[in-house]
Amino acid sequence: EAPAPTAAPEAAPAPAAVQPSHSGHDEVLSADEETWDLVKDSNDIADIEYYLENYPNGKYSVPANLKLRQLSR
């Protein structure tokens, strides 16, 4: 019967699933990258503006701003 309490702590790794705060952060980066992949080849200013509105400090904000300038010419 003592092994049963040990089994309960084995269930404790489920609270380790509370760690998705870290995974959630990675998901934000993935969304950033996925969005950029979708708009980076677009010639529509609205697509680039959409990326910058959603990820103003995103991984690709510098090339997005550059592309926005190029499309605005």
Give the rounded distance of the alpha carbon of 25 from its chain centre.
Answer: 6
pLDDT tens digits, one per residue of 11-61: 444 544 444 444 455 555 589 999 999 999 999 999 999 999 999 999 999
Quote the pTM value.
0.60
pLDDT at site 21: 45
DSSP state at residue 60: T
For residue 44, report the phi and psi dihedrals to the nearest 5 degrees.
-100, 115
Per the model's pLDDT, the better-predicted residue between 54 and 1 turns out to be 54
Distance from C-alpha of 36 to C-alpha of 51, rounded to nearest angstrom? 7
Distance from C-alpha of 24 to C-alpha of 73, rounded to nearest angstrom? 38
